[in-house]
C-alpha cells in the first residue's frame, strides 16, 4: 500500500494512525502470515474497495480489509525463513540437511535485534520443516546450536535465542553464568558442563575460581539435598583431578557423605542415573564390613534404573547365589516390591540371569505381582500408571510363563485374585483372563458364572444347603465387615510396604471375596433333593454302591450323595468327585476305572441300593 492509500485509510479510521508503518508494509509482493489463513502473498491493493488481495494456500485472491488485517496479519521480512522456503526452497533444503546451525543463524539474522523467543523460533521451524520431520531434526540441531559461539541459548522457552555481534565460546559463556549465580545447585550443573573441556585441556579460561566456588557450595550451602551434595562433591573431585589438584585436600570427602547409613536410601532415590554405579562403589569403599548388607537393603527399597544397578553390583561382586536366595526369601515373606518384581519379569529370559531367576518364575511370584499391583492402586491418585499392570497386559508370554507350573486350583485362585484386583480396568481383566483360559480352559467358568455350564444344576441335600447358606451369611454379614475394619486399622499404622498386618488383612480379603463369589454361583444353581428319586437299576445321586476292588478283591461300599454331602471318613462321597462321576449311570457288573492319588483303581459294581431305604432301615 502506498502512502496515499494508507493516509486515506487513516483519515477514514483515525484509530489506525498507530499502525501506519504496518499498513505501509502491506504492499504487493510482500509475504505474510495470517492468524487464521496461514502463509500468503499480497498480490495487490484494490483502492476502489480499499481491500487487499492475498493468495493464501488453498484460497487464491482472497479480499481482506486492511483495518482488519492490522490485528491478525504479520508482514514477513524478505529473509524470513518461511519466505526463503517459498522463493529459494533448494537452498533452505540444503541448509536443513547439511548445515542446520547456519540455518538458525540466518533465521535469527532476519529478526529485529537478531533475536526471537524459543517458542517463536520452534513454531517457525516446525512450519518450514513440517511437524513430522521437525521434532527429530530439532532435537539434534539444538544440541549443536548450544555449542555454537555465535548464538546465545536461552534457559527457558519464554526467553530469546540471540545472534551475537561477537562470538563467545561455550566455556566463556558458562564461566560468565557461573560467576553471576549464587545458586549452589546451578553452580554444580555449570561446573559439570565445564568438565568435558577441562579434562581434554581445551578450556582456555582459569577454572580455579570454579573449583573454589563449587567446593564452597558443597561444603556450606544449605540449599542442597544430601544426594545433590554428594553428586556435587563428585563433580568437584573430577574438576580438581582435571586441574591437577589433590582431592585429599578437599572437604567434605565423598566417603564422609555416605558415612551415615541411615541416609543412603534417601540419597539413592535422588542421585542422577549415571552416578548410581559410582554411588554403590562409594558405599563399598566407605563401609568395608557391611557394604554387602547395605547393598541388599538398597535393592529392597530401590526404584527404576537403580534396581538394575544394585543387582548388577551384587552379581559382579560374586553374590549371585546369595541374591537368588534373598529374592526367594523376600517372595516368601511378601517383601518383593514392584520395582524388583518388574526387573524379575523383564529379565526372566535373560541368559545372564537364568540361574538367578529360574526358580522364581512361579505362581507364587504371580501372587506377589497381584499384591504389589493392588497396593499401588490403593496408594496412587487418579490415573497414575502402574508399570507391573502394564507389563502383564503388554507381554503376551508373561502369564503363561508364570502359570507354567500351576495346577488348575492354583490357577483358578489367581484368576479370582485378578478379578478382585483394583489395579485393572474391567476390560483389561477380561483380556488377561482370556490368557488364563488358554492355559486352563476350566477357568472359563469364571466368565460364564459357574463350574460347568450356565444351566447345569447342583444336587444337594437340604441339610447341606442350609449349612452353606449359613456359611454365606456369616461371610457377608460378619467376616467381610470385620476384614474391612482390619484393613482400615492396619492402614493407619503407616507405610503399607512394611505393614505385615495390612498384608495379611488384604490376603484375607481376597480369600473372603473369592469364597463369597463361589458360594453365590453355587447357591444360584442348587436343586434340593431328598434322594427319593434314586433307583436300584443303575447308580444315581442317592445310591449306596457295593464295589469289589479289582486288584485285591476286597469289597468296599460308597454312598453317592449331593454336591456338599461328602464325608470320606464315613464313605460318603459327592457325585461331583472323580469317583462319583465315574460311578454315575453304571449298573451291576460294570467295571469302573478311576484315578486317585496318582494311581488308577479298578472296581466292579456288585450291588446298588437306595440311600433312603438304608437310612430308614438304620433307624
The overall average pLDDT reported for the chain is: 87
pLDDT bucket at 409, cuts 50 / 70 / 90: confident
pLDDT bucket at 450, cuts 50 / 70 / 90: very low
pLDDT score of 496 more than 60: no
Q: Where are the alpha helices (DSSP H) in 221-335?
A: 226-242, 254-257, 264-268, 276-286, 291-300, 305-316, 320-332
Question: CA–CA separation, 323 vs 523, rounded Å?
Answer: 48
What is the model's pLDDT at position 451? 43
Q: Give the residue-averaged pLDDT of 555-563.
A: 92
Q: Which three cell numbers stand for residue 309?
A: 544397578
pLDDT score of 419 more than 90: no
pLDDT score of 161 more than 50: yes
pLDDT score of 454 more than 50: no
Sheet containing strand 555-561, edge to edge, reads 572-574, 555-561, 543-549, 599-610, 591-596
pLDDT bucket at 379, cuts 50 / 70 / 90: low
What is the model's pLDDT at position 195? 80
Name the least confident of 3-17, 73-87, 134-148, 205-219: 205-219
What is the model's pLDDT at position 489? 79
| Nearest alpha-carbon partner for 345 in 297, 391, 298, 404 | 391
Q: Which three cell numbers stand for residue 33?
A: 502470515
Q: What are the backbone angles phi and psi of residue 561, rounded to the nearest 5°?
A: -120, -160
Question: CA–CA separation, 298 vs 208, rounded Å?
Answer: 37
What is the model's pLDDT at position 562? 92
Question: CA–CA separation, 474 vs 36, rounded Å?
Answer: 69
pLDDT bucket at 446, cuts 50 / 70 / 90: low
Residue 549: partners with Cβ closer than 8 Å, 6 or more residues away: 555, 556, 601, 602, 603
Domains assigned to the chain: 3-75 (2.30.30), 81-163 (no CATH), 366-448 (no CATH), 458-528 (1.10.287.180), 543-618 (3.10.50.30)
Q: Which residue has the higher pLDDT, 67 or 450?
A: 67
Residue bearing cell 481376597? 510
Q: Which three cell numbers stand for residue 175?
A: 564461566
Helices 320-332, 363-379: axis angle to 10 degrees equals 70
pLDDT score of 82 more than 60: yes
Residue 121 burial (C-beta neighbours within 10 Å; 0-12, 13-18, 19+): buried
The per-residue pLDDT for range 332-348, each reduced to its tens digit, is 877 888 999 999 999 99
What is the model's pLDDT at position 197? 56
Question: CA–CA separation, 308 vs 436, rounded Å?
Answer: 30
The per-residue pLDDT for range 30-66, each reduced to its tens digit, is 999 998 888 999 999 998 899 999 999 888 999 999 9
pLDDT score of 494 more than 80: no
What is the model's pLDDT at position 221? 78
pLDDT score of 116 more than 80: yes
pLDDT bucket at 248, cuts 50 / 70 / 90: very high
What is the model's pLDDT at position 417? 84
Q: Give the residue-averaged pLDDT of 598-617.
A: 84
183 half-sphere exposure, CB direction, 13 A CA radius: 8
Q: Which residue has the higher pLDDT, 92 or 112?
A: 92
What share of the chain has pLDDT > 90, as a percent?
50
pLDDT score of 543 more than 80: yes
Question: CA–CA separation, 399 vs 339, rounded Å?
Answer: 18
Residue 593 burial (C-beta neighbours within 10 Å; 0-12, 13-18, 19+): exposed
What is the model's pLDDT at position 495? 54
Distances (CA, A) of 150 to 109, 180, 251, 260: 11, 21, 38, 47
Q: Where are the alpha helices (DSSP H) in 43-117?
A: 66-69, 81-87, 89-98, 100-109
| Nearest alpha-carbon partner for 399 in 430, 361, 425, 372 | 361
pLDDT score of 455 more than 60: no
Distance between start and end Cα atoms, the chain: 119
pLDDT score of 611 more than 70: yes
- Which of 88-102, 378-392, 486-500 reaches the highest mean pLDDT? 88-102
State which H helix or E strand residue 33 sits in. strand 31-34
How big, in percent rounded to 5, are the helix, strand and coil portions of the chain?
Answer: 60, 15, 30
Amino acid at each position: 500500500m502506498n502512502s496515499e492509500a494508507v493516509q486515506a485509510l487513516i483519515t477514514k479510521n483515525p484509530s489506525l494512525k498507530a499502525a501506519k508503518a504496518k499498513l505501509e508494509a502491506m504492499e504487493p509482493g510482500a509475504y505474510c502470515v495470517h492468524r487464521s489463513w496461514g502463509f500468503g502473498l499480497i498480490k495487490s491493493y484494490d483502492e476502489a474497495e480499499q481491500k487487499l488481495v492475498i493468495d493464501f494456500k488453498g484460497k487464491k485472491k482472497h479480499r481482506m480489509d486492511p483495518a482488519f488485517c492490522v490485528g491478525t496479519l504479520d508482514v514477513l521480512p524478505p529473509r524470513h525463513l518461511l519466505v526463503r522456503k517459498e522463493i529459494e526452497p533448494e537452498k533452505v533444503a540444503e541448509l536443513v540437511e547439511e548445515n542446520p546451525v547456519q540455518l538458525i543463524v540466518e533465521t535469527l539474522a532476519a529478526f529485529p535485534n537478531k533475536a526471537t523467543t524459543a517458542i517463536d523460533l520452534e513454531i517457525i521451524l516446525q512450519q518450514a520443516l513440517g511437524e513430522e520431520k521437525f521434532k527429530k531434526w530439532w532435537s539434534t540441531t539444538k544440541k549443536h546450536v548450544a555449542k555454537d559461539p555465535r548464538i546465545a541459548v536461552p534457559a527457558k522457552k519464554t526467553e530469546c535465542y540471540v545472534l551475537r555481534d561477537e562470538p563467545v565460546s561455550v566455556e566463556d559463556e558458562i564461566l560468565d553464568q557461573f560467576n553471576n549465580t549464587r545458586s549452589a545447585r546451578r553452580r554444580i550443573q555449570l561446573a559439570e558442563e565445564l568438565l568435558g573441556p577441562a579434562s581434554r585441556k581445551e578450556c582456555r579460561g582459569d577454572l580455579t575460581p570454579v573449583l573454589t566456588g563449587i567446593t564452597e557450595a558443597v561444603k556450606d550451602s544449605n540449599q542442597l539435598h544430601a544426594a545433590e551434595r554428594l553428586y556435587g562433591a563428585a563433580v568437584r573431585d573430577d574438576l580438581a583431578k582435571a586441574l591437577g589438584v589433590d582431592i585429599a585436600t578437599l572437604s567434605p570427602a565423598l566417603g564422609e557423605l555416605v558415612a551415615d547409613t541411615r541416609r543412603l536410601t534417601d540419597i539413592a532415590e535422588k542421585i542422577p542415573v549415571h552416578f548410581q554405579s559410582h554411588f554403590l562403589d562409594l558405599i563399598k569403599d566407605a563401609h568395608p564390613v557391611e557394604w554387602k548388607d547395605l547393598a541388599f537393603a538398597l535393592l529392597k527399597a530401590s526404584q527404576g534404573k537403580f534396581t538394575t544397578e544394585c543387582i548388577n553390583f551384587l552379581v559382579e561382586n560374586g553374590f549371585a547365589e546369595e541374591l537368588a536366595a534373598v529374592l526367594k526369601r523376600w517372595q516368601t515373606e511378601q517383601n518383593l516390591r514392584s520395582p524388583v518384581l518388574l526387573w524379575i519379569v523383564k529379565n526372566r529370559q535373560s541368559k545372564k540371569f537364568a540361574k538367578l531367576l529360574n526358580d522364581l518364575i512361579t505362581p507364587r511370584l504371580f501372587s506377589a505381582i497381584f499384591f504389589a499391583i493392588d497396593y499401588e492402586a490403593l496408594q496412587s491418585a487418579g490415573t497414575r500408571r502402574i508399570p507391573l499392570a502394564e507389563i502383564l497386559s503388554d507381554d503376551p508370554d508373561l502369564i503363561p510363563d508364570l502359570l507354567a507350573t500351576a495346577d488348575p486350583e492354583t490357577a483358578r485362585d489367581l484368576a479370582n485374585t485378578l478379578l478382585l484386583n483394583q489395579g485393572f480396568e474391567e476390560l483389561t481383566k477380561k483380556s488377561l483372563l482370556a490368557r488364563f483360559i488358554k492355559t486352563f480352559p476350566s477357568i472359563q467358568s469364571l466368565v460364564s458364572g459357574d463350574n460347568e455350564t450356565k444351566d447345569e444344576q447342583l444336587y444337594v441335600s437340604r441339610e447341606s444347603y442350609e449349612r452353606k447358606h449359613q456359611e454365606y451369611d456369616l461371610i457377608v454379614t460378619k467376616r467381610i465387615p470385620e476384614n474391612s475394619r482390619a484393613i482400615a486399622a492396619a492402614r493407619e499404622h503407616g507405610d503399607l510396604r512394611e505393614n505385615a498386618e495390612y498384608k495379611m488383612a488384604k490376603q484375607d480379603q481376597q480369600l473372603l471375596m473369592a469364597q463369597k463369589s463361589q458360594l453365590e454361583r453355587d447357591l444360584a444353581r442348587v436343586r434340593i433333593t431328598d434322594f427319593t428319586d434314586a433307583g436300584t437299576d443303575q447308580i444315581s445321586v442317592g445310591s449306596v454302591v457295593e464295589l469289589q476292588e479289582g486288584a485285591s478283591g476286597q469289597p468296599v461300599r460308597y454312598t453317592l450323595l449331593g454336591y456338599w454331602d461328602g464325608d470320606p471318613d464315613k464313605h460318603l462321597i459327592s457325585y461331583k468327585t472323580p469317583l462319583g462321576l465315574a460311578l454315575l449311570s453304571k449298573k451291576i457288573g460294570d467295571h469302573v476305572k478311576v484315578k486317585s492319588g496318582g494311581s488308577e483303581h479298578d472296581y466292579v459294581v456288585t450291588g446298588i441300593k437306595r440311600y433312603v431305604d438304608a437310612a430308614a432301615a438304620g433307624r
